[in-house]
Structure 1
Amino acid sequence: METAISPPDDRRFAVSLLSRLRTPKGQANPFPIYAELRSRGDVIAAPWGGHLVTGFNLCDQVLRSRDWLEPDARWREQHKDARRWTAPSAREMSRTLPALNPPEHTWVRRSAGMFDRSSLEQIRGTVDRFTSRILDTFTEQLRDGEADFNALVSEELPVAAIGHWLGLPTADLPRLRELTHDQVFTQELLPSPSQLALSDRATAELRTYFMDLVRERRAHPGEDPVSRWITVWDTMESDRGRADEAVYFLALFVLLAALETTSTLLSTMTLLLLEHPRQWQRLTVHPELVPAAVEESLRYDPPTHVISRVSTQDCILGGTEVAKDEMVHLLVGAAHRDPARHEDPELFSLHRKPAHLAFGGGIHYCLGAPLARMEAQTLLHQLVRRFPRLTLVRRPSWAPRVAFRRLLNLDVALS
């Protein structure tokens, strides 16, 4: 679809709507704003340059195509006039797996070797035990009236699961969870200077933590993933310091990916179901719909609303000219409500055929997707069995973000 308005008007319109996205009201419910953006076309000019893409098919096309790349270290160096790309945290993230392009991306991803069917089966029992234990604590809190599901469950399960898998000391997990909340700001759509400062400090502390961990595992290897990555990278890199750094970047990526978006998925999924009590009741009677509930939650309000790519060549995208190395921001949160892709897209339905971009697509499809799905399904199975009368006490508040959704609370009670 081609927009009928001029680029300057397009940009002014986008400025107005994106300013609303950054307000508490916009963060709580960005979807009416997305609908206004989508009404101007599938591709519109971004106020700061580049383009915003709201159509599902175009977002899917870009994610799957080899003609679109991550904004990697080379690209960021070319745009060093923007602090967003030159901040220490941004430079650090440019060396993690999600920001790499082939051929480097290919061999780093292969070296990770995680979350295949065998490893998932090994961790499944652990996730189930952690979920039961966490919900026991949640039950105790509910006896006093209401409880914050976000703090007691959603924030606890992902860090417990990935911490156990990586072999991290339990005492370290609360601090690592706090650091991920600050670090993610460097991956935001338009981080403020204060947000970047938070991210820089968190990234520096995470680097120290994981580099120390890698050195400790090199001296005392075990059966954990970090020890395995050290062995793999020693065969790929003759320089031991560079091998250790490669393992550090893998460990950092795994922690950030496993905690932030999965926690949001768990809270958002629970919020959506409690906001749609008929669907919640249906689940209590038909728990076989749990996988469908997880997928519909990922469509309806995904943990990540924006994915950015850059073009490898001059091209036409949805009737709009895009120059080589120009960035497009895929608004997957908007694309998931595209009526050209989904009938009645505003309807939350467990009987919808799954189709979403919550885990990206193509070569950058999320490595942790199987683990996130496992955690969400395990939690939801136990929730509907143990708490069929769970109800929402009040609307939650949201963190000041656009790209990476995060609930700050989810207060619930038993009716």
Structure 2
Amino acid sequence: MEIAITPPSDRRVTVSLFSRLRTAKGQANPFPIYAELRSRGGVSAAPWGGHLVTSFELCDRVLRGRDWLEPDARWREQQVSGSRWTAPSSREMSRTLPALNAPEHTQVRRSAGTFDRGSLEGMRGTVGRITGRLLDSLAERLHEGEADFNALVGEELPVAVIGHWLGLPTADFARLRELTHDQVFTQELLPSASQLARSDTATAELRTYFMDLVRERRARPGEDPVSRWIAAWDGMESDRDRADEAVYFLVLFVLLAALETTATLLSTMTLLLLEHPRQWDWLTVHPDLVPAAVEETLRYDPPTHVISRVSAQDCVLGGVGIAKDEMVHLLVGAAHRDPARHKDPELFNLHRKPAHLAFSGGVHYCLGAPLARMEAQTLLYQLVRRFPRLTLVRRPSWAPRVAFRRLLNLDVALS
């Protein structure tokens, strides 16, 4: 196959597009910029090296392919000193489940267990009660006028659910949520030096908090996931300190994954439905479409817009040569609007057949996807039943991010 060579002029165009993507306007609506990137081909040169992938078919192929790896600890150690990959927070994340490759990934994933049907059913009642309580608070605020759905519900439900599951003190939820928002910058596509510094500080505090938690559960084990993980790792690792650290990395991963992306899913789902009042009205009459609404949200504007992989060997992707250990950034936010995969991709349509990459794919398919879906569906079932006249007051603001979407507010009222 003939390999396409990307000229410098194309790289300059991509620089310009990413400059627009990082503006407030670009954060609020990145999709026209994604369309321009897609028009340049399924694979294009990234301004900082590596490549950007905007084709749904190619993104799906990479995520499912065994020749594409996570940027793990070995890969990060080879990067230029001072880059985001060598920051302390990045090195810490390289030891969590999403950044591992086989065989380490297989071992850790097995030790973590899964949110299977039985465990989810055991959590369903708790999720329903927490959701009801949060919507009670929303109702009180709406009675007085407008309310910030994001602050009262979207940000609160994930931390309350995962905090209850892990057995964490309620008083710690707010701080853990703040630390998560700062920590995620090390996983961003283009973090600034100040953002990386915030991530490093947050990561250090999270390590102290969760290592203390693991030691406490080891001393007083209970019927909770952390205690079960300690028992599991004691059977695999003779060094107790190393076993405790392995459990710490599991707890850290679960918290970060559960809070950040799920909160964005909940608020984005509500925003999109209120921005499409005909779809909202239809849903209030046909709540059986709630699961479809969640899936269309995940396609239309997923919580994570970028997933990165590195090539295990020299290869060709979409006619472009990729060298071993070279990185590709899968712009799933762009791929979800690929007209080659979806008819009328710019339309938010609850009757669309689900197809998205919001939970990644292959061996790295998101461990917490079933829980995130359950939280979103539980919330939406209750929301359309209790607040059929909910309306959007104003357009929200967005955090200055490219990879990890986050609403800063979602102001609503009753019509």
The alpha carbon displacement at 1:7 in A equals 2.5
Structure 1 residue ranges, 4+ long, deviating more than 6 angstroms after superposition: 1-5
TM-score normalised by L of structure 1: 0.99
The alpha carbon displacement at 1:118 in A equals 1.0
The alpha carbon displacement at 1:114 in A equals 2.8
Match of 2:380 in 1: 380
Is the contact between residue 3 and residue 43 of structure 1 (CA under 8 Å) also seen in structure 2?
A: no
Pairs aligned (count): 415
* Deviation readout 1:295-344 (Å, 9 max, x if unpaired): 00000000000000000010000000000000000000000000000000
Superposition map of 1:55-74 within 5 A = 55-74=55-74
Match of 1:235 in 2: 235
Is the contact between residue 233 and residue 243 of structure 2 (CA under 8 Å) also seen in structure 1?
A: yes
The whole-number CA distance in structure 2 between the counterparts of 1:131 and 1:280 is 19
The whole-number CA distance in structure 1 between the counterparts of 2:82 and 2:89 is 13
Match of 2:29 in 1: 29
Superposition map of 1:153-172 within 5 A = 153-172=153-172
The whole-number CA distance in structure 1 between the counterparts of 2:230 and 2:156 is 28
Is the contact between residue 4 and residue 319 of structure 2 (CA under 8 Å) also seen in structure 1?
A: no
Superposition map of 1:135-146 within 5 A = 135-146=135-146
Is the contact between residue 308 and residue 329 of structure 1 (CA under 8 Å) also seen in structure 2?
A: yes
* Deviation readout 1:331-362 (Å, 9 max, x if unpaired): 00000000000000000000000000000000
The answer to whether structure 1 residue 350 and structure 2 residue 350 are counterparts is yes
Structure 2: runs of 5 or more not aligned: none
The whole-number CA distance in structure 2 between the counterparts of 1:295 and 1:252 is 27
Is the contact between residue 3 and residue 40 of structure 1 (CA under 8 Å) also seen in structure 2?
A: no
Superposition map of 1:182-331 within 5 A = 182-331=182-331
Is the contact between residue 302 and residue 358 of structure 2 (CA under 8 Å) also seen in structure 1?
A: yes
SS in 1 for 2:34: helix
Is the contact between residue 22 and residue 401 of structure 1 (CA under 8 Å) also seen in structure 2?
A: yes
The whole-number CA distance in structure 1 between the counterparts of 2:277 and 2:325 is 47
Is the contact between residue 70 and residue 99 of structure 1 (CA under 8 Å) also seen in structure 2?
A: yes
TM-score normalised by L of structure 2: 0.99
Structure 1: runs of 5 or more not aligned: none
Is the contact between residue 262 and residue 303 of structure 1 (CA under 8 Å) also seen in structure 2?
A: yes
SS in 2 for 1:52: strand
Match of 1:48 in 2: 48
Percent identical among aligned pairs is: 85
Letter in 2 for 1:301: D
SS in 1 for 2:235: helix
Is the contact between residue 296 and residue 350 of structure 2 (CA under 8 Å) also seen in structure 1?
A: yes
SS in 2 for 1:412: strand
Is the contact between residue 305 and residue 403 of structure 2 (CA under 8 Å) also seen in structure 1?
A: yes
Letter in 1 for 2:153: V
The alpha carbon displacement at 1:82 in A equals 4.3
Superposition map of 1:53-132 within 5 A = 53-132=53-132
The answer to whether structure 1 residue 11 and structure 2 residue 11 are counterparts is yes
The whole-number CA distance in structure 2 between the counterparts of 1:184 and 1:403 is 10
Is the contact between residue 311 and residue 325 of structure 2 (CA under 8 Å) also seen in structure 1?
A: yes
Is the contact between residue 4 and residue 321 of structure 2 (CA under 8 Å) also seen in structure 1?
A: no
The whole-number CA distance in structure 1 between the counterparts of 2:219 and 2:177 is 26
Letter in 2 for 1:371: L
The whole-number CA distance in structure 1 between the counterparts of 2:343 and 2:132 is 37
Letter in 2 for 1:217: R
The alpha carbon displacement at 1:10 in A equals 1.5
Letter in 2 for 1:91: R
Letter in 1 for 2:398: W
